[in-house]
Chain A
Amino acid sequence: MAEHIITLSDGTFDEAVGASSEPIVVDFWAEWCGPCKMIAPILDEVATEQAGKLKVAKLNVDDAPDTARRFDVMSIPTLIVFQDGQPKKRLVGAKSKGQLLAELDEFLG
């Protein structure tokens, strides 16, 4: 996994997301999800290219079911953008890099 991507768990989620000074995109994913694998390299690139403006984190729903349930995740991949610890935007389903960057534009300031 790319060095810029943060791995979250039920235990570390609140602190990592709450303490982030930049907007943070959390990718709710799992090993058995084909579309999740498709967007993984795109997220790696976005994390590297937008470093300093935006953080990218991954949360494996198999390992962290409580957090997934707390945010009503019912489909993966789901990306939720958090700002100041609050969920601001939710993107469901795999997307191309262009579509993803367009959706994230408002957070890239």
Chain B
Amino acid sequence: MDNSHKVVIIGSGPAGLTAAIYAARANLAPLVIEGEPSSTSDQPGGQLMLTTEVENFPGFPDGILGPELMDRMRQQAIRFGATLRTDRVTRVDFSERPFRVWIGDEELRSDAVIIATGAQSLMLGLESEQRLLGHGLSTCATCDGFFFRNHEIAVVGGGDSAAEEALFLTKFASKVILIHRRRELRASKILQDRVFANPKIEILWDHVVVDLLGDTKLEGAVVRDVVTGEEQKLAVSGLFVAIGHRPNTDLFKGVLDMDDAGYLLTSHGTRTNVEGVFACGDVQDHVYRQAVTAAGSGCMAAIDAERWLEAMAHAAR
């Protein structure tokens, strides 16, 4: 395979695939390096691969399943001539042009690069976590909810993801305890209303999880009241973590400007501090983080890249 490209897109969530659709339609024959299978939300298709119903993506009045939406975007990108590779980028060198991107030992070159590597789920940071992941501790309600039919379980978090997971899990569980470290939810109003109206959901305000119990499978969680410091045990057999995300920017440390939390900094649309490298989607957005805003910024990145490549070509003439 020829290793020189006009545009390489790293990542394949709504941002990366929308960038691919636009870049392909601009005859830039983009290569999308879509990532490798994983269950930590940095997989091909991005975070929507771990969700069920997406109700707020315009054009789908009856909702659409996250994985199906991503499959459709993927087909759309392929239809216009994008090439997709199910691999993980292991190294980049943006110090000279053409830029270089590696997949293991394989070196690829590209005139422009669009970064759409997204974000992955944060874990609790407890020692017991690795031992119990997959044994009652989960980061994917849609994957694992089925195994908790008639169980009492808990969800940790207070944002949209936590609210969605809690609501989804009521289909299986007899009771869902939503553990949140504050006194109010950050989730959108419509989700909050559904959470409050659901008789199976009980909210434990002002609490954090400080330990997990059980050797080979989860038997409970120890929670602490952040106001009084008081601790108690919850006898839950399932614990679902939805406490937020961290951007997938380890590859770009010391190369691209990022904020303290590791989100890439962009200006004038989707430009990073390296001319010819663009960023879109959750990797540069810790404010909106929606499928539709990711897709929108993916479109912007493709247009920015196209215009920049044109200007470069013009300057070279």
Contacts and interface: CB of A to CB of B under 8 A. Distances in A.
Interface string B134-148: 111010101110111
Interface residues of A, number: 26
A55 to B, nearest CB: 21
Contacts of B143: 33-36, 75-77
Size category of the binding interface on chain B: 20 to 34
Given A37-B67, A39-B37, A75-B147, A93 B134 contact: yes
Nearest to A37: B67
Contacts of A35: 37-39, 43, 49-50, 140, 143
Tell me the dominant secondary structure on chain A's binding face.
loop
Given A74-B144, A74-B238, A93-B40, A34 B134 contact: no
B88 A96 contact: yes
Residue in A72, A76, A92, A93 whose Cβ sees the most chain B Cβ within 10 Å = A93
A78 B134 CA distance: 8
Contacts of A78: 134
Contacts of A99: 36
A73 B67 contact: no
Contacts of A74: 134-136, 138, 144, 147-148, 217, 238
A39 B146 CA distance: 19
Tell me the dominant secondary structure on chain B's binding face.
loop
A94 B37 CA distance: 5
A95 interface: yes
A41 B43 CA distance: 15
Nearest to A72: B217
A56 interface: no
A43 to B, nearest CB: 10
Nearest to B49: A34
Contact of B147 (A42, A68, A94): A68
Nearest to B136: A74
Contact of A92 (B44, B45, B50, B134): B134
A38 interface: yes
A30 interface: yes
A34 B67 contact: yes
A17 to B, nearest CB: 20
B158 interface: no
Interface string B35-72: 01111100111000110100000000000001100000
Nearest to B218: A74
A75 B134 CA distance: 5
A74 B36 CA distance: 23
Nearest to B87: A96
A93 B15 CA distance: 24
A9 B40 CA distance: 29
Contacts of A94: 37-39, 43
B78 to A, nearest CB: 16
A36 B133 CA distance: 17
Contacts of A77: 39, 143
Interface string A79-98: 00000000000001111100
9 contacts: A42-B37, A72-B217, A74-B134, A74-B147, A74-B148, A75-B147, A77-B143, A92-B135, A93-B40
Interface of B: 36-40, 43-45, 49-50, 52, 66-67, 88, 133-136, 138, 140, 142-144, 146-148, 216-217, 238
Given A74-B136, A94-B38, 5 more contacts: A32-B146, A38-B37, A38-B43, A72-B135, A99-B36
Give the 6 A-B residue pairs with the shortest CB-CB distance, closest first. Answer: A92-B134, A93-B39, A96-B36, A75-B134, A38-B37, A94-B37
